[in-house]
Amino acid sequence: MIAILATLVIGILVGYLGQRSRFCSIGGFRDYFLARDTYLLKGYLGVIIGASVGFVAFKFAGGEVPNYPLGMDLPPITPLLVMIAGAVGLGFCSVLAGGCPTRQHVMAAEGKESAVFYLVGFYVGIVYFLLVTSQYLNDIISVSV
Amino acid sequence: MRIKLWFAGITGLVIGVSAAAAQAFFKVQPPVAYGYCMVCHPGTMVAWLMNNYLGTNFPISRAFVLFPSLLAVGVIIGAVVAANKNKEIGWRTSPARKKYMAVLFGFLIANFALIAAGCPLRFGLLVSYGSVSGVILLVSLIVGIGLASVYLRLRKES
């Protein structure tokens, strides 16, 4: 139960700050590539810095930070290549869509119609992944082993 | 005010620290570096709903077996409160083509992200956790963003 409440509180905090700051992880790199604008990129770097300091500090404070640092946690080559392809596709499509999933949720909350339609496709896509895509992935991974 | 120049940076710091705290003290794990992911958590929420109301048997993180993650719900609530407070809330329509493309992109992005096992922010959390695969995924993400940026620039010039 505590995990669920934590995700709700973090979500409310991120949603509030994200709306005020126009935070977007994809936008950070996109704006830098297109216009050398680093405003949103600072946001993404802030995530990495904050989490890095957080994990170290919380580990020393007795929090659950198992197997830290993960180090060489590479999966077998075929799943790794599939994940790389997914990440490239995620980056490419997110730029064309106009923002990362967090930003799209925030824009939908603001009342932007295209973001609401994005979320419709997003959640349908999740259902499709669970029902169809994940089965193909299991087949690919099992054949490669 | 100069602090506004860093507002996105402050937002990022809050996300990073709170995601780390969620794992360390509020049991948002396994897997590790799972305190914030705007694809995995909605995916877990959808899987939980389908398992409990449609009788499916999709795997769910141990943290969310009894109740689903409410991260996406929280983001929307927080954004509504912020937009309403600052009078930036209101329905804004889009051209039909843009709406249909948005549905398609949402669909593709959900699948690509779940194949890659995370959203851009989770890649950042994995990098913070010292994960080599996180670094590889982040670099791959940046490659995809770079390719799209080149495409946009070429389209603008043509």
Q: Give the ipTM of the model, two decimals please.
A: 0.93
pLDDT number for residue A143: 61
Yes or no, beta carbons of B25 and A64 under 8 Å apart: yes
Distance, in Å, from the CA atom of A46 to the CA atom of A40, rounded to the nearest integer, reads 10
Residues B88 and B108 in one domain: no
Yes or no, beta carbons of B22 and A7 under 8 Å apart: yes
Q: Which amino acid is at B13?
A: L
Q: How far is A142 from chain B (nearest CA, A)?
A: 15
Last residue in a domain, options B67, B92, B117: B92
Of B107, B116, B146, nearest to A83 by CB-CB distance is: B116
Q: How many CB pairs under 8 A join A and B?
A: 458
pLDDT number for residue B5: 56
Last residue in a domain, options B92, B113, B137: B92
Q: How far is B158 from chain A (nearest CA, A)?
A: 16
Contact A46, B13 (CB under 8 A): yes
Residues B71 and B121 in one domain: no
Residues B23 and B63 in one domain: no
Of A16, A55, A137, nearest to B82 by CB-CB distance is: A16
Residues B119 and B150 in one domain: yes
Dihedrals phi, psi of A71, to nearest 5 degrees: 70, -135
User: Nearest to residue B32, comparing CAs of A61, B42, B24?
Assistant: B24
Yes or no, beta carbons of A114 and B94 under 8 Å apart: yes
Work out the pLDDT band at B2, boundaries 50, 70, 90.
low
Contact residues, chain B, for A58 at CB < 8 Å: 20-21, 24-25
Quote the domain boundaries for residue B12: 1-30
Q: Which amino acid is at A114?
A: S
Q: Tell me: pLDDT of B127 over 70.
A: yes
Q: Tell me: pLDDT of B152 over 80.
A: yes
Which residue does chain A place closest to B154, by CA atoms?
A34
pLDDT number for residue B134: 95
How many domains, chain B? 3
Distance, in Å, from the CA atom of A6 to the CA atom of A12, rounded to the nearest integer, reads 10
Yes or no, beta carbons of A90 and B23 under 8 Å apart: no
pLDDT number for residue B29: 84
Residues B43 and B85 in one domain: yes
Which residue does chain B place closest to A70, by CA atoms?
B131
Residues B103 and B158 in one domain: yes
Last residue in a domain, options B46, B73, B92: B92
What is the per-residue pLDDT across B13-69, written as a single tens digit (0 to 9) for each? 999 999 999 999 998 888 889 999 999 999 999 999 999 999 999 988 888 888 999
Cα-Cα-Cα-Cα dihedral sign, residues A59, A65, A67, A68: negative
Of A10, A20, A45, nearest to B71 by CB-CB distance is: A10
Residues B109 and B158 in one domain: yes
Q: How far is B45 from chain A (nearest CA, A)?
A: 10
pLDDT along chain A (145 residues), means of 10: 91 95 95 94 96 95 89 87 96 96 97 96 97 87 59
Contact B24, A65 (CB under 8 A): yes
Burial class, A142, CB count within 10 angstroms (exposed 0-12 / middle 13-18 / buried 19+):
exposed
pLDDT number for residue A70: 85
Distance, in Å, from the CA atom of A119 to the CA atom of A110, rounded to the nearest integer, reads 13
Residues B38 and B25 in one domain: no
Yes or no, beta carbons of B8 and A43 under 8 Å apart: yes
Residues B78 and B116 in one domain: no
Q: How far is B85 from chain A (nearest CA, A)?
A: 10
Yes or no, beta carbons of A110 and B72 under 8 Å apart: no
User: Nearest to residue A46, comparing CAs of A54, A57, A37, A36?
Assistant: A54
Residues B15 and B39 in one domain: no
What is the per-residue pLDDT across B72-109, written as a single tens digit (0 to 9) for each? 999 999 999 999 999 999 999 988 888 999 999 999 99
